[in-house]
Amino acid sequence: MRDHSLWEKIEPLLARVEKPSRYLNHEYNARVDELQVTGVDSAAAGVAVTSDGAVVETAVKATYRVALLYPDTYELGQSNQAIAILSHAINALSGCVAERSFLPWVDLITLMRERDIPLFTLETTSPVASFDLFGITLPHELAATNIVEALDLAGLPLYSKDRGSECPLVLGGGPLAFNPEPLAAFFDAFVIGEGEEVTGEFIAVHRACLARGDSREETLRALATIEGVYVPSLYAPGKGGALLPQVNGASLPITKRVVADFDACSIVVDPVVPFVEVAHDRFTVEVLRGCSRGCRFCQAGMIYRPVRERTADTIVDAVAQGLANTGYDEVSLTSLSTTDHSQIEQILRRLNRLLANTGVGISIPSQRLDAFGVAMARMVAGEKKTGLTFAPEAGTQRLRDIINKNVTETDLFDAIACAYAAGWLRCKLYFMIGLPEETDEDVLGIVELANRAYAVAKDAAEVNRRSNVRMSVSVAIFVPQPHTPFQWGGQIAHSEIERRLALLRSAHLHKGIKLHWHDPASSRVEAALARSGREASELIERAWRQGARFDAWSEHFDASRWEEAASFCGLSLAELAERDFALDEALPWAHIDSGVSSDFLLSELKRSREAATSEDCSFGSCIDCGVCPALDADVVLGGDSRG
């Protein structure tokens, strides 16, 4: 049910904006507690009156309300699994209701500001400022100004210290929470790690504080006692710059939360089916969580450890239910490395039998770079052999060994030969430049490797008498990330990035290969924010006041706004992005414990300098990363306990 006083202001604006269906609600499977109706008699427990006067029964009165925001457009946010998972978990709690919110596109934002319309939730068009808890997903660095935009559009003070008891608590969670400091001033609290279990604990403590009439400060102190919850206002820099707790009960370090029994963790089998096409417009099942391949540049591979699988029975049952509940014609088996699932072949064979003659396709978005990966892709592609994506990451074997990619040219060429011989139409190769120890030879090696891969594809395609071989090469700029072996070293200088890109562009890439590269200026902002501490909060606010928002959208990113903001704050983007940390220095994120030990990261850094690789513990012996003992994890893969 809608808050009609606000909806009546918004509805006339929809004819004037792009994609009005972003804001409509009432999608298939959307739900909302009936007591979220304006004019409900709160004394009437168990019943509600709808806008047309009808009386409806309700099982439980909703006394605690959560607004969940993805800080970007509906198309991106509605595809985010975290929003769906957390909504499902919160709505399952007695007396709680969760509603979705997304940042409107710039056209509607302009109209809302002109008419003083606050940021609202989708389900009931209620102001997010009227909720008890405002949860914001933290997906990537370039979302920072969107988060500030959302807080301001909601009518909330930007800084936590300026909010009173009438404001909802602002809670952040997601990948960026593993270095929360650049955003710390804007948030009351962060959840570090996986949210399925800790969210319920957070809500329970908050509800108890509200019932007692606790002050905001008392509430934050109570919340800080929950494992995995970080309350920035309770910490301050100590000797050497390290953040230290200022009150009893505040943990140090703050250890990430992990769902130990991932197979028992509920799967959302009745997700919202959008009106508008979204980024991932299909039914998704997360088949495993974590990755132990150990790529030294990859933050996700470190912070989401340990690896935990869902069983084949759980996955197949969820697919059957999800497709029945949504009507989708495609299901995606998601994870950081889906083809590493110990039962993946069995899962795909069972799904092929289940979905035979239904027209439903299966996709595996994370593709293993070897012939086995292509064989698995062949099992799910059917006639839809549109394209595969492989990530060699580096152009030479020396550099792949430095970053511990653990794939060879033979792996790549065999995979491409299998793919094009089997009828695939195109292939995309992902690389990075600016990796530690990279030389010009490594940069030119990208072109050489791509040209050789293209030749392999041409030869393989002749099996099917096809000549329209298509291949693209995408080159990202390396951003050193916290909690990885490369966290101590800075990004290479902006001028050097430009020089290496020019070298790459001038090389003789086959005319049948399309080359794409990321914007070095936006990558520098990413690195500056990824590696900063609390000094970056003012930078983010100033960039936003300069007009920065939707920075992840190339048509909206303007580097000059960030440069001017840095100058205003007495900072330098170059220094923030490029600075090296001493190995014994207190890192801005040192108080956040990802479970992976610093000793392991230092050991991996040393091995990278020797171009020595480390094996994947899921398929070999334990490499002593520290996660399993630190988190008391008993990891079960394919029936075998591995630690």
Question: Same domain for 460 and 339?
Answer: no
Residue 16 is assigned to a structural domain of this protein: no
CB-based contact 427:457 (threshold 8 Å) = yes
Pairing of strands 283-286, 288-289: unpaired
Task: Output the pLDDT for position 144.
Answer: 98
Residue 380 is assigned to a structural domain of this protein: no
CB-based contact 173:142 (threshold 8 Å) = no
Task: Output the pLDDT for position 601.
Answer: 97
DSSP state of 59: S
For residue 208, give the CATH number of its domain: 3.40.50.2300
Reading the block at residue 383, the tokens are 């006639």
Task: Output the pLDDT for position 468.
Answer: 81
Domain final position from 236, 255, 274: 255
Distance CA 454, CA 1 (A): 55
Reading the block at residue 210, the tokens are 């509200």
Task: Output the pLDDT for position 233.
Answer: 97
CB-based contact 29:271 (threshold 8 Å) = yes
For residue 541, the surrounding DSSP H or E stretch is: helix 536-545
For residue 337, give the CATH number of its domain: 3.30.750.210
3 state DSSP class of 599: helix
Residue 546 is assigned to a structural domain of this protein: no
Residue 391 is assigned to a structural domain of this protein: yes
Question: Same domain for 209 and 287?
Answer: no
Number of structural domains found in the chain: 3
Instruction: Tell me the per-residue pLDDT of 127-162, one tens digit each, with 9 for 90 and over.
Output: 999 999 999 999 999 999 999 999 999 999 999 999
Question: Same domain for 524 and 638?
Answer: no
Parts of the chain with a pLDDT under 50 = 33-51, 53-60, 635-643
DSSP state of 266: P
Task: Output the pLDDT for position 25.
Answer: 84
Question: Same domain for 361 and 400?
Answer: no
Task: Output the pLDDT for position 241.
Answer: 84
Distance CA 272, CA 93 (A): 19
Question: Same domain for 277 and 203?
Answer: no
Domain final position from 216, 233, 255: 255
Residue 470 is assigned to a structural domain of this protein: yes
Instruction: Tell me the per-residue pLDDT of 51-109, one tens digit each, with 9 for 90 and over.
Output: 454 444 444 468 999 999 999 999 999 999 999 999 999 999 999 999 999 999 999 99
DSSP state of 57: E
DSSP E strands in 52-143: the ranges are: 55-57, 64-70, 96-102, 133-137
Residue 289 is assigned to a structural domain of this protein: yes
Residue 137 is assigned to a structural domain of this protein: yes
Distance CA 295, CA 302 (A): 9
Question: Same domain for 125 and 192?
Answer: yes
Task: Output the pLDDT for position 426.
Answer: 86
Burial 465-490 (b: 16+ CB within 10 A, else e): eeeebbbbbbbbbbbbbbbbbbbbbb
Task: Output the pLDDT for position 15.
Answer: 95
Provide the residue range defining the domain that includes 580: 385-535+571-596
Question: Same domain for 96 and 187?
Answer: yes
- pTM for the full predicted model: 0.92
For residue 489, give the CATH number of its domain: 3.30.750.200
Residue 49 is assigned to a structural domain of this protein: no
Question: Same domain for 108 and 169?
Answer: yes
Task: Output the pLDDT for position 466.
Answer: 72
Question: Same domain for 433 and 362?
Answer: no
Question: Same domain for 226 and 298?
Answer: no
For residue 87, the surrounding DSSP H or E stretch is: helix 81-91
Domain final position from 255, 283, 303: 255
Question: Same domain for 337 and 309?
Answer: yes
Task: Output the pLDDT for position 643.
Answer: 33
Question: Same domain for 530 and 411?
Answer: yes
